[in-house]
Amino acid sequence: MQAASARLGQDPLIVYALVRNADMKKIAFISFGHWSSSSHSLARSASDVLLQSIDLAVAAEQLGADGAFFRVHHFARQLASPFPLLAAVGARTSRIEIGTAVIDMRYENPLYMAEDAGAADLIAGGRLQLGISRGSGETVIDGWRYFGYAPEEGETHVDLARRHTEVFYEVLRGEGFAEPNPRPMFANPPGLLRVEPHSEGLRDRIWWGSGSDATAVWAARTGMNLQCSTLKNDESGRPLHVQQAEQIRAYRQAWKEAGHTREPRVSVSRSIFALVNDRDRRYFGRDANSDGTIGLLDGNIRTIFGRSYVAEPDALVRQLAADEAIAEADTLLLTVPNQLGVEYCAHVIESILTHVAPALGWR
């Protein structure tokens, strides 16, 4: 860290950031898994995206990254059902965390999901980090209805996601709840039965993707880790990173008040591109002055979208040093442009690990 400070001319902001970020951060990538028939895309099909996602996870592990995370969307040319992919990544890697950000719980059968998650976590040796949430706007209207789910009388689709989450989270305790058949085909253990396979410890590795202060507090009280995305409900008019830092602090306070005995995990997602060669500048140089924007989600929710960080490494270090939410988090998820291929996405990850993270004390 002293060498980094010297190289950056003892910049007071950098020195302050090094003190504030004294603990190293886990750095992972997150892929939306898009595919397109466009001639500019190196991911032309679902098969391409799935196989390239596995290859990128292997490459990220070799580069020294800490995780491979995947977004989940339905009815779209993007990654969907996550557990076959997570299991495959788990079988091909040995160290990195493997996760989602996020699974839309409106679409999930909580018990079947617990079985899938348990199996994938056992294959990965206990490395799953599952981000779940209500999800965002989808490609089709009320898509969860086509999966056979609907809010109950008096519920909203938000309540539907919470209900599925609560069942899933409870089942992960591994306690029996189902009455066994008195004449089973195979002998059962004594007492009520649980879903199998059960992976011990997975319950502590469930994250809630939160877009508001209130849902972050709910996640803390429930006992889940926290994921913050590149957007959030605009609750104060302040920049995204400031609002998210306040959100994280509220989460940690609620966690403390709830009396949980373990330390919670907190991640933030960011689009960060270090311009280190001409290809970087050609792809992302025009975004160098990108700033946050305001928009509407679900028709009427005022939402703030975060900026993209695009700059030469030294400038990027100064910009990231001022991001208060990154400072509050222990894990950083880097969005990757998966349609540009495995080799380039690995380069994006390596550039941050090599040229940016050490200067900020993250490595």
Which amino acid makes up residue 164?
A: H
Per-residue pLDDT tens for 207-249? 999 999 999 999 999 999 999 999 999 999 999 999 999 999 9
Which tens digits make up the pLDDT trace of 44-82? 999 999 999 999 999 999 999 999 999 999 999 999 999
Over 60: is that where the pLDDT of 102 sits? Answer: yes
Outline where DSSP puts E strands in the chain.
26-31, 67-70, 97-104, 128-133, 206-210, 225-228, 231-233, 266-274, 293-297, 301-305, 308-311, 331-335
**pTM score, two decimals?**
0.93
3-state SS, residue 308 = strand
Percentage of the residues of the chain whose pLDDT score is greater than 90? 87
- CA dihedral (262, 68, 331, 35) in degrees, to 10, reads -130
At 3, the pLDDT band (50, 70, 90 cuts) reads: very low
Domain ranges of the chain: 2-360
Closest CA to 207 of 222, 192, 195, 194: 222
Kindly report whether the peptide bond that precedes residue 197 is cis, defined as omega within 30 degrees of 0. Answer: yes
Distance CA 357, CA 24 (A): 9
With beta carbons less than 8 A apart as the criterion, state whether 53 and 70 touch.
yes
Averaged pLDDT score across all residues of the chain:
93
For residue 290, the model assigns a pLDDT of 72
**pLDDT of res. 28:** 98
pLDDT tens by residue, 170-218: 999 999 999 999 999 999 999 999 999 999 999 999 999 999 999 999 9
- Least trusted range by pLDDT, from 136-150, 167-181, 285-299: 285-299
Nearest alpha-carbon partner for 174 in 188, 157, 195: 195
Find where tokens 């994006």 sit: 348
For residue 314, the model assigns a pLDDT of: 97
Query: What is the pLDDT, as a whole number, of residue 170?
Result: 98
DSSP 178: B
Task: Tell me how far apart the 2 most distant CA atoms of the chain are, in Å.
Answer: 76
- Residue 171 CB neighbours (<10 A): 21
Distance between CA 211 and CA 324 in Å, rounded?
17
* More confident: 281 or 289: 281
DSSP 8-state class, residue 251: H
Tokens of 216: 């972050």
pLDDT in tens, 312-334: 999 999 999 999 999 999 999 99
Strand ranges, E, within 259-307:
266-274, 293-297, 301-305
Q: What is the spatial order of strands in the sheet that 301-305 belongs to?
A: 231-233, 301-305, 293-297
Q: Which of 267, 332, 317 is nearest to 133 (CA)?
A: 267
Distance CA 271, CA 13 (A): 21
Instruction: For residue 98, give the nearest of 61, 153, 148 by alpha carbon.
Output: 61
pLDDT confidence tier of residue 288, bands split at 50, 70 and 90: confident
Phi, psi of 295 (to 5 degrees): -150, -170
- The residue type of 201 is G
2-360 fold: TIM Barrel (3.20.20)
